[in-house]
Amino acid sequence: MPDPIEELLKHEKKAFSDSFPNIEDWRADLDKHFPTLAFAAETCLSVICQLRIEDVHNPFCLGLIDRPGSGKTVTVDFFSGCGNLVKMTDEFTPNSFVTNIAGRTEDQLKKIDLLPKIKDKTLLIREMGCINNAQEERLRQLLGILTRVLDGEGLIRDSGTHGERGYSGKFLFSMIFASTPFQLNVWKAMAGLGHRMYFLALYTPQTTEKEALADVTGLSFSSKLSICKEATNHFLQKLWKETEKKVVWDKPKDDKDSLSKIFKLASILCCMRGEIIIFFDRESRTITSTFPQIEDPRRPFQVLYNLARGHALVCGRNYITPDDLDVVIPVVFSTAPTPRPRLLQLLVENAGYLKTNQIVSSLQCVDRTAHKEMHKFIQLGLCNGNITAEEGQELPDMDGTRGLGKYIEIKDEFKWVLTDPRVRRLLDRLPTITKKEQQEMLL
């Protein structure tokens, strides 16, 4: 009788053989036809491919965020032609996971329920307006359902119409949606229920006249989209075929420095999306705040580790290398309420040190708003600083720095992001402050 472990190892050797799908072919098609969306699409690919890893138990929910018309929905559409691997919807509400419609039998409801339809698949949502536009009470109800489902343990609901019904057990799936940036009230509601969603800001550049003319004189948009959808379907179907049995991860082969950085990134993420309420006293002109609520990094670390593993699998590996941080870093830098991602970016661009006028110039805000955001970064544990000094007052040396007036400086444990080449590579892709703004900051 053959040894089952030996047979499993044989299968894994076959799964990572020359027959494994070539990511470079897929990248070539995306880079040719939709270069500004190629990276976002590869991140989505990494989300989906987590489902083929044996010990992944956490559903991953990724939101693509940007302004209207920026290509968010197009990126989601790349994956819409992947047959039985995905479930696409234009209109979505968390209530559809387990339904309680009056006048329907139990058998009819089971055919309507969304949760069993997406088990071991990816739910694609073209627009998440049900969350972003919901009123406060309705918002908390919808996020409560979504939070529970994203635990990966099913969902059981009680109603006066049908009583108790739902599903329990392991319900692994992934979820990708497009949306404009979530409003602050959504972030506050998520903080109270537990964060389960992650985001990727596309920062798609404005279309130039040359690009617009090329769109109408060259290959049609629909043709380019069809090519990319076909390439995506071909890649995923072949990967699913080659990994008929889920991939056993070679954890001893994971790059240890990369694992350490993923944990540090998870710690930054927990600070970035921590909940804190700011108060401004008009008489004393002082800023105070509630005690910040900051989650433990263990779960975010596991989820970000799975994202890195998904990317590794996309690249034909069952172990992590530093290259897999390329999808983790942008997600961390995007998963926080506005304007925190921009402020973190600004800190990295300015060697980890910012004064009030720099923030005012970049965020196009007044001094009071800048001071509130500086106070948040100090209280959330990302920065040291002083926002009680008068502007122009010379400050004593603190942590080897010297400055005038109010300032923040990134903490020592996070200073590695200032010189990390992959963080710098991310910032090179993002919109940066203008030369005029930089000159004003030096005044």
Is 3 inside a domain boundary? no
Is 271 inside a domain boundary? yes
Tell me the β-bridge partners of 354: 408
First to last CA, the chain: 78
What's the pLDDT score for residue 243?
A: 86
Taking the C-alpha atoms of residue 347 and residue 117, their distance in angstroms, rounded to an integer, is 44
CA distances to 103, 151, 310 from 316, rounded to whole Å, are 50, 28, 10
SS3 content of the chain, % helix, strand, coil (to 5): 50, 15, 35
For residues 304 and 201, state if they share a domain.
no
Of 389, 383, 372, 379, the residue nearest 412 (C-alpha): 383
Tell me the β-bridge partners of 178: 64
Taking the C-alpha atoms of residue 73 and residue 128, their distance in angstroms, rounded to an integer, is 11
Is 263 inside a domain boundary? yes
Task: Supply 203's token pair.
Answer: 């920062």
For 161-274, strand residue ranges (E) read: 163-168, 174-179, 197-201
pTM of the model: 0.87
Report which secondary-structure segment, H or E, holds 24: helix 23-33
For residues 230 and 292, state if they share a domain.
no
Is 4 inside a domain boundary? no
Task: Supply 174's token pair.
Answer: 């992934």
Which of 223, 250, 277 terminates a domain? The answer is 250
Is 5 inside a domain boundary? no
**Cα 385–Cα 389–Cα 394 angle in degrees, nearest 5:** 90
In order, the DSSP letters of 362-379 are: HHT--HHHHHHHHHHHHH
Number of domains comprising the chain:
2
Report which secondary-structure segment, H or E, holds 385: strand 383-386
Cis peptide before 300 (omega within 30 of 0): no
Taking the C-alpha atoms of residue 20 and residue 170, their distance in angstroms, rounded to an integer, is 28
Taking the C-alpha atoms of residue 44 and residue 26, their distance in angstroms, rounded to an integer, is 13
For residues 275 and 149, state if they share a domain.
no
For residues 376 and 279, state if they share a domain.
yes
CATH number at residue 26: 3.40.50.300
For residues 246 and 259, state if they share a domain.
no
Of 34, 322, 336, 307, the residue nearest 201 (C-alpha): 336
For residues 39 and 53, state if they share a domain.
yes
For residues 199 and 310, state if they share a domain.
no
Of 229, 243, 370, 381, the residue nearest 313 (C-alpha): 243
Neighbours of 47 (CB within 10 A): 26
For residues 265 and 188, state if they share a domain.
no
Non-local CB neighbours of 50 within 8 Å, separated by 6+ positions: 56, 60, 174, 306, 307, 309, 310, 313
For residues 416 and 314, state if they share a domain.
yes
Helix, strand or coil for residue 404? strand
Non-local CB neighbours of 227 within 8 Å, separated by 6+ positions: 29, 33
Is 422 inside a domain boundary? yes
Task: Supply 97's token pair.
Answer: 């996971």
Rg, C-alpha atoms of the chain: 24
Provide the residue-wise pLDDT of the chain in tens; the chain has 443 residues: 455 444 444 444 444 545 678 899 999 999 999 999 999 999 999 999 999 999 999 999 999 999 888 899 999 999 999 999 999 998 888 989 998 776 677 788 888 899 999 999 999 999 888 888 888 899 999 999 999 999 999 998 876 565 678 898 999 999 999 999 999 999 999 988 889 999 999 988 877 787 777 777 778 899 999 999 999 999 999 999 988 889 999 999 999 999 999 999 999 999 999 999 888 777 767 788 788 899 999 999 999 999 999 999 999 999 999 999 999 999 999 999 999 999 999 999 999 999 999 999 988 999 889 999 999 999 999 999 988 765 544 444 444 444 457 899 999 999 999 999 999 888 777 655 433 433 333 33
Which of 215, 250, 285 terminates a domain? The answer is 250
For residues 293 and 376, state if they share a domain.
yes
Helix, strand or coil for residue 409? strand
Taking the C-alpha atoms of residue 240 and residue 291, their distance in angstroms, rounded to an integer, is 47
What's the pLDDT score for residue 162?
A: 59
For residues 121 and 242, state if they share a domain.
yes
Is 236 inside a domain boundary? yes
Helix, strand or coil for residue 126? coil
**Domain range for residue 110?**
10-250
Taking the C-alpha atoms of residue 271 and residue 337, their distance in angstroms, rounded to an integer, is 11
What's the pLDDT score for residue 3?
A: 52
